[in-house]
């Protein structure tokens, strides 16, 4: 049977389907002939009848829809914007399903957290703007990955400690005892994280190594699990094929970031840390080849990974190089990290440390300048609609030669309308009004004279008149704040206008001020917390403040990322020794 399809704006041609074919089969054949996705099809019009493809069951036979042999059909495609919205809805629905499963896994992981929302930022700390479905998918995936890494690290370190105490060819199997349950939970968390991240648009996954690291962790956990349960994990062909696909995908993502030969890592201060990821990739590729019976390939992959591991591991022979860098005034961790990043070249390592210090100082200065600019913008006040003065617009006006406070006032009054602000600054009359507003804003507030009633009230509490008056002036008449300040100062004695010590008629010592009323306690505590936060912002550097400000969820993600920031290849070394020994014995 042949049905002639006539499109409204696109491909024209014929599509042949078997008698009794369903609507879904017809749309599938149409895709093969025209590359038009079934989801792009909105309606069909045949013999004066309109068929809504989004509401019609795909299993419906085409004859029941009035589509017979040689029927001419006009196909109307969805608007691209509508398609985009539908795709977003489908992705959110998929994400909801993954999230539901993730909650169960999260509860089993034992930390009780149920929120998956987190802010996503780039390397300079600014928020990344992305569609809601992508943001939620990446947030959920990163959270699940972090939880899984916690379990994997615990199991890996435990197995390493036991393996180091074990002897013989079955060391790795013995070390895995008791860890199977934890590893199984880690694998489930990693797989859920993979499903969540796959909901996000591919372009976001190619911007960082998060997905690549997750894929490596899935296979690594499966490898460790297979050492405990030989009848599970990587023993089945299907599991081996899935592991191979994950490793191939991870390799592709890493090469897209670093270049096919890691050429984009040249000169980077974190080159050593990034290359360490390739050691684990090589270990996993070699171990998988061993499980598939490809012994020669396994030996080649494992040998290459071991050579790279040795390049990234400092031995006793490198102690002299470390000592040379320490003599230059560098710290121990700086010296070791830089040596590994620079191929153990002392001169390159020294330059690397200096470059890292300069970059860190530049980041600190940039953050400090950012805070200063933010504080400056607050001094300009809010626009009539309650918005802050636009920093970008202000810099543009200053770049044109206008005085900063005057430019800020013009933007404030014009609701950040750059053209209107320029018009005001270019008019002598309006510029004069702007200058007057700036002068009024810069003028100190008028002095405050506290009421006699407030002063007497504080005196009745046992505070001296002069101290009470000063506290009321400082608090602009707030009795509660004045009491808090006087209590902190220890009472600030001074009875009467002369400021002498307040005493009883018998000359006894001044009575101690009464306790602060309970109504003031919460306010005082809040004020103290706010003051401590302000002091902390000045006292801590930016990295410390960044850590202090993170939620527990973001702490988990950062802890996961830190595992890749330091070069520790003990686990890889243990796995390499184990698999190389087995492969060599099998090939002998």
Q: What is the pLDDT of residues 230-243, one digit of tens each?
A: 555 577 888 899 99
Per-residue confidence (pLDDT) for residue 110, from 0 to 100: 43
Contact 217, 145 (CB under 8 A): yes
Of 196, 186, 190, nearest to 116 by C-alpha is: 196
Topology adopted by domain 380-442: Helicase, Ruva Protein; domain 3 (1.10.8)
**What is the average pLDDT score of the chain?**
74
pLDDT tens column, 352-386: 889 888 888 888 888 888 888 888 888 888 888 88
> Which of 222-256 are b and which e, b meaning 16 or more Cβ less than 10 Å from the residue's Cβ?
bbbbbbbeeeebbeeeebbebbbebbeebbebbee
pLDDT digits (tens, 9 = 90+) for 129-178: 677 778 778 888 888 888 888 888 887 777 666 655 554 444 445 444 45
Q: What is the pLDDT of residues 269-299, one digit of tens each?
A: 667 778 889 999 999 999 999 988 999 999 9
Per CATH, domain 2-78 is 3.10.20.90: yes
**Quick one: which of 562, 463, 455 has its CA closest to 516?**
463
What pLDDT is attached to residue 86? 62
pLDDT, average across residues 318-325: 90
All structural domains of the chain with their residue ranges:
2-78, 95-235, 380-442, 452-502+516-563
Give 260: exposed, middle or buried? Use CB within 10 Å, 0-12, 13-18, 19+.
exposed
pLDDT reading at 10 higher than 80: no
Q: What is the Cα–Cα distance from 249 to 345, expressed in whole angstroms?
A: 33
Q: Is residue 506 over pLDDT 60?
A: no
Question: d(Cα 86, Cα 80) in Å, to the nearest integer?
Answer: 10
């Amino acid at each position: 049977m042949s049905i002639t399809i006539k499109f409204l704006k696109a491909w024209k041609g014929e599509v042949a389907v078997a008698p009794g074919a369903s609507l879904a089969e017809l749309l599938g054949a149409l895709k093969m002939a025209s590359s038009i996705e079934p989801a792009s099809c909105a309606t069909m019009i045949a013999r004066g009848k309109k068929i809504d493809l989004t509401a019609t069951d795909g299993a419906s036979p085409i004859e029941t829809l009035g589509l017979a042999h040689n029927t001419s059909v006009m196909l109307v495609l969805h608007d691209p914007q509508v398609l985009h919205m539908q795709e977003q809805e489908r992705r959110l629905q998929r994400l909801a399903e993954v999230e539901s499963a993730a909650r169960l896994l999260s509860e089993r992981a034992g930390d009780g957290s149920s929120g998956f929302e987190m802010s996503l930022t780039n390397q300079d700390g600014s928020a990344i703007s992305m569609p809601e479905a992508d943001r939620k998918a990446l947030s959920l995936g990163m959270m699940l990955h972090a939880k899984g890494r916690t379990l994997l690290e615990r199991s890996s370190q435990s197995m390493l400690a036991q393996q180091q105490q074990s002897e013989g060819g079955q060391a790795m199997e013995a070390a895995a005892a008791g860890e199977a349950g934890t590893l199984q939970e880690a694998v489930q968390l990693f797989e859920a994280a993979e499903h969540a991240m796959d909901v996000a648009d591919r372009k976001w996954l190619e911007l960082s190594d998060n997905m690549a690291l997750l894929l490596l962790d899935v296979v690594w956990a499966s490898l460790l699990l297979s050492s405990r349960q030989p009848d599970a994990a990587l023993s089945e062909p299907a599991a081996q094929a899935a592991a191979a696909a994950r490793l191939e995908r991870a390799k592709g993502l890493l090469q897209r970031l670093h270049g096919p030969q890691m050429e984009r890592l040249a000169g980077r201060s974190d080159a050593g840390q990034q290359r360490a990821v390739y050691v684990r990739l090589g270990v996993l590729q070699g171990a998988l080849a061993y499980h598939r019976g490809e012994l020669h390939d396994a030996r080649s992959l494992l040998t290459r990974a071991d050579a790279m591991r040795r390049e990234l591991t400092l031995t006793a022979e490198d102690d002299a190089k470390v000592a040379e860098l320490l003599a230059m005034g560098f710290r121990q961790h700086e010296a070791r990290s830089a040596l590994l990043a620079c191929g153990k070249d002392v001169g390159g390592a020294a330059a690397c440390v200096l470059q890292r210090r300069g970059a860190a100082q530049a980041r600190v200065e940039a953050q400090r300048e950012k805070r200063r600019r933010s504080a400056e913008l607050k001094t300009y006040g809010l626009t009539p609609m309650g918005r802050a003065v636009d920093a970008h617009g202000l810099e543009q006006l200053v770049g044109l030669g206008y005085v900063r406070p005057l430019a800020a006032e013009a933007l404030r009054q014009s609701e950040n309308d750059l053209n209107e602000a320029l018009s005001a600054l270019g008019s002598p009359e309006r510029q004069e009004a702007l200058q007057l507003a700036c002068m009024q804003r810069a003028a100190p507030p008028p002095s405050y004279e506290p009421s006699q009633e407030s002063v007497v009230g504080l005196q009745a509490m046992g505070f001296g008149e002069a101290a009470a008056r000063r506290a009321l002036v400082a608090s602009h008449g707030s009795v509660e704040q004045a009491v808090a300040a006087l209590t902190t100062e220890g009472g600030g004695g001074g009875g009467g206008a002369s400021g002498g010590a307040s005493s009883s008629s018998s000359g006894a010592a001044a009575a101690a001020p009464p306790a602060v009323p309970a109504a003031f306690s919460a306010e005082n505590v809040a004020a103290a917390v706010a003051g401590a936060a302000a002091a902390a912002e000045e006292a801590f550097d930016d990295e410390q403040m960044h850590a202090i400000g993170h939620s527990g969820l973001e702490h988990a993600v950062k802890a996961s990322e830190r595992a890749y920031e330091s070069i520790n290849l003990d686990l890889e070394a243990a796995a390499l020794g184990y698999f190389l020994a087995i492969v060599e014995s099998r090939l002998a």
